[in-house]
Amino acid sequence: MNLKLEKGSVVLTLNTRIYKARSILATAELFSQNLMVDVNACGDRVEVRIRSKTKNAEMEKIGYEFFNYVLADSQSSLFSE
């Protein structure tokens, strides 16, 4: 997982060999209720760009929170298979 801050947004790059694409998409859908989330896939990598609808959001924290949700969903699906 790679996290990069850009002006007004955070960009996460996740490897689908490690994190399930289904978990990434489910988390993106959940976060899109309050944030602007763009997901782009290229091979075994998925880039997620998150932008806030407000100016004072802590984008780094939001990025790590997104990652935590993906990780939790990926782990829980391992135990349910």
pTM of the model: 0.88
pLDDT at 77: 61
Angstrom distance (rounded) from CA 67 to CA 49: 12
Angstrom distance (rounded) from CA 18 to CA 71: 10
Q: How many CB atoms lie within 10 A of CB 16?
A: 15
Q: What six digits make up the tokens of 9?
A: 């947004």
Q: Which CATH number fits domain 2-75: 3.90.25, 2.40.128, 2.30.230, 3.30.1360?
A: 3.30.1360
Angstrom distance (rounded) from CA 78 to CA 81: 6
pLDDT at 9: 94
Burial class (CB in 10 A: 0-12, 13-18, 19+), 48: buried
pLDDT of the chain, 81 residues: tens digit per residue: 899 999 889 999 999 998 999 999 999 999 999 999 999 999 999 999 999 988 778 999 999 999 999 999 887 765 555
pLDDT at 45: 96
pLDDT at 7: 86
